[in-house]
Amino acid sequence: MREQMISTTMHPDADQAVHNVASRLELMRATVWRRIATIARNTFREAVRDRVLYNLVLFVLLLIAGAIFLSELSAAQESKIIVDMGLSACLLFGAFIAIFVGTGLVFKEIERRTIYAIFAKPVGRGEFLVGKYLGLSSTLAVNVAVMGLGVSIALVYVRGGWDMLALHIWPTIMLILLELMILVAVALLFSAFSSPTISASLSFAVLIIGHFSSDLKTFAASMGTQSTRIFFGALYYLLPNFSHYSFITPAAHGQVPSLMHLFSALLYAVVYITVLLASATLIFNRRNFK
């Protein structure tokens, strides 16, 4: 009877303790995301202030204007030329932003020695990298949206009215953005342990190989020696497969990626980006800044 009374009287305290622990964990999670959001916001502001971004957007808009001019020289091919050139420009210059800005995100903080002030606060290195990643990805989303809007306006202009292709290109623009977000994570991974020059070179190599990854698998199967097949097979599975996101040519012919294609591309991007950021955090945690 006495043991029952003791256990009954202890239950409210135990429940309160569990509630307090849960509240603290929830508060810690909220604080972590608040710090990440602050770093992401500052990264976005810094990237927007960078004149390179404005120059690239301006260049893309000029390229779209050039596509309109070329379309006048090719009757009945206006829409195809504009979509092909415009979306290719979105991918190309978005890749320049992802690589050159992405590889400099960590290096700039180290060079300015502001990284010491950041880590003097209760900010984890993983939070720092995730914040930088989200900030640059947000910048890319804005830039890709502006470029895509420019392509849509160019289509409406040359057709002299509404063209459904101006709407149908947006799923392809989403695929371009997902590819660029993977590329940002690649650039951050390399910048976690190397200089901006080496990081940019490696990121460009990954971008090029990633677009020929299906050919890489075929090439690996045709190799004579077992070691060569294993090497190229490992490259195929380790490097990102950007062929999932190459839909520009079909989009120029009016095709739209299926919902299953979009979902699989999104899932692949989420998993791959998570692995890359986790690897970058693991490497960055071992780096000594003294």
Give the CA radius of gyration of the chain: 24
pTM over 0.85: no
Tell me whether residue 14 is in a domain. no
Please compute the mean of the pLDDT values over residues 63-80 and round it to a whole number.
68
Tell me whether residue 290 is in a domain. no
The whole-angstrom separation of Cα 263 and Cα 265 is 5
Model confidence at 186: pLDDT above 90:
yes
Tell me whether residue 226 is in a domain. yes
Two tokens, residue 97: 């932003």
Tell me whether residue 106 is in a domain. yes
The tally of domains found in the chain comes to: 1
Average pLDDT, the chain: 79
The confidence score (pLDDT) of residue 277 equals: 93
The confidence score (pLDDT) of residue 275 equals: 94
The whole-angstrom separation of Cα 220 and Cα 233 is 6
Tell me whether residue 141 is in a domain. yes
More confident residue, 159 or 177: 177
Q: Which of 246, 262, 178, 236 is nearest to 211 (CA)?
A: 246
Model confidence at 9: pLDDT above 50:
no
pLDDT in tens, 220-243: 666 667 777 677 667 777 888 898
- Sign for the pseudo-dihedral over CA of 214, 216, 219, 220: negative
- H or E element at residue 160: none
The domain containing residue 169 runs over which residues? 48-285
Tell me whether residue 82 is in a domain. yes
Tell me whether residue 36 is in a domain. no
- H or E element at residue 108: helix 104-111
pLDDT in tens, 12-54: 554 544 444 444 445 445 587 888 888 888 888 887 776 666 7
Please compute the mean of the pLDDT values over residues 155-162 and round it to a whole number.
78
Tell me whether residue 3 is in a domain. no
